[in-house]
């Protein structure tokens, strides 16, 4: 299939890295389903940016941890565009708290979105993505940094990596690649929330490249795995500027 015919679903696609991935794939000629959890203003802004590019796109509000909503999202993609070729799991939350202070409600919320949500979306992707397609999950270099305060987040991302590596093998013979991108610190509202300037400056100085990453650093990696990077399969790609 030509790129102009390919269809991508991007969860968490209304802001941050997800929005940049959406815009990158639009430039590559994909038709897009932009998933968002609840912030319609962000979704509207993203859709306006897509409209300016002439891309075919629809927005779809869905809680990725709700199996009925996820099924409906894939149904909408198939109804609107005829099928699905690429699924990118970008939806996630990142509360930061020491393990001894971690309350169970917060833990359950992180697991529900980051792990259950990724699993449900990936499950539908495995059932519906067409041959020649790609499933791309999102982990985090925090699994290697082991930075204090990120226990719940890192635990869910470790689970996402396990899902990815196993599914790549389960899809033998289907001509579908399954990979995970694991960014380091990225200049987004999700990462910067609650951090003071001194902490941000220290983290930005860690990579040999001497700066914090941006969504524009990550989106081309996703686009490569979605398209030409066919011989990369069952891998975790750490994208952190060399910090680990």
**pLDDT tens digits for range 80-135:** 999 999 999 999 999 999 999 999 999 999 999 999 999 999 999 999 999 999 99
- Is residue 84 a part of any domain in this protein? yes
Confidence (pLDDT) at 179: 98
- Is residue 199 a part of any domain in this protein? no
- Is residue 21 a part of any domain in this protein? yes
- Is residue 143 a part of any domain in this protein? yes
Total domain count, the chain: 1
- Is residue 173 a part of any domain in this protein? yes
Confidence (pLDDT) at 186: 86
Confidence (pLDDT) at 188: 79
- Is residue 191 a part of any domain in this protein? no
Catalytic residue among 30, 36, 150, 153: 153
- Per-10-residue mean pLDDT, the chain, length 244: 75 95 96 95 96 95 98 98 97 93 96 97 98 97 90 96 97 98 86 79 86 93 97 96 84
- Is residue 208 a part of any domain in this protein? no
- Is residue 69 a part of any domain in this protein? yes
Confidence (pLDDT) at 230: 95
Confidence (pLDDT) at 239: 95
Confidence (pLDDT) at 202: 84
Contact criterion met (CB below 8 Å) for 32 and 14: no
pLDDT in tens, 154-169: 999 999 999 999 999 9
Alpha carbons 241 and 244: distance in angstroms, whole number:
8
Confidence (pLDDT) at 68: 98
Overall size of the chain counted in residues: 244
Q: At 63, which CATH number?
A: 3.40.50.720
Confidence (pLDDT) at 1: 41
Alpha carbons 10 and 21: distance in angstroms, whole number:
8
Please give the mean pLDDT across all residues of the chain.
Answer: 93
Tokens linked to 178 = 């399954």
**CB-based burial, 1-16: b 16+ in 10 Å, e otherwise:** eeeeebbbbbbbbbbb
Confidence (pLDDT) at 191: 74
Which residues form the domain of 92?
3-186+215-239
Q: Could you confirm whether 238 is annotated as catalytic?
A: no
pTM value is 0.93
């Amino acid at each position: 299939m030509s790129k102009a015919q390919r269809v991508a679903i991007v969860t968490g696609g209304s802001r941050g890295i997800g929005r940049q991935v959406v815009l990158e794939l639009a430039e590559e000629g994909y038709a897009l389903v932009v998933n968002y959890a609840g912030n319609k203003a962000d979704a509207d802004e993203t859709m306006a940016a897509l409209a300016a590019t002439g891309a075919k796109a629809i927005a779809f509000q869905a809680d990725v941890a709700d199996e009925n909503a996820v099924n409906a999202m894939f149904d909408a993609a198939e109804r609107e565009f005829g099928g699905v070729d690429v699924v990118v799991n970008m939806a996630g939350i990142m509360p930061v708290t020491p393990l001894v202070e971690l309350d169970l409600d917060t833990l359950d919320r992180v697991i529900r979105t980051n792990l259950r949500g990724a699993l449900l979306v990936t499950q539908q992707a495995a059932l519906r993505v067409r041959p020649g397609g790609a499933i791309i999950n999102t982990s985090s270099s925090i699994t290697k940094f082991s930075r204090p305060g990120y226990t719940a987040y890192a635990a869910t991302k470790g689970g996402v990596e396990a899902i990815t590596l196993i599914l790549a093998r389960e899809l033998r013979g289907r001509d579908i690649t399954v990979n995970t991108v694991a960014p380091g610190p990225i200049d987004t509202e999700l990462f910067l929330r609650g951090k003071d300037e001194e902490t941000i400056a220290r983290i930005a100085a860690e990579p040999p490249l001497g700066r914090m990453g941006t969504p524009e650093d990550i989106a081309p990696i996703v686009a490569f795995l979605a398209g030409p990077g066919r011989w990369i399969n069952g891998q975790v790609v750490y994208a952190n500027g060399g910090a680990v």
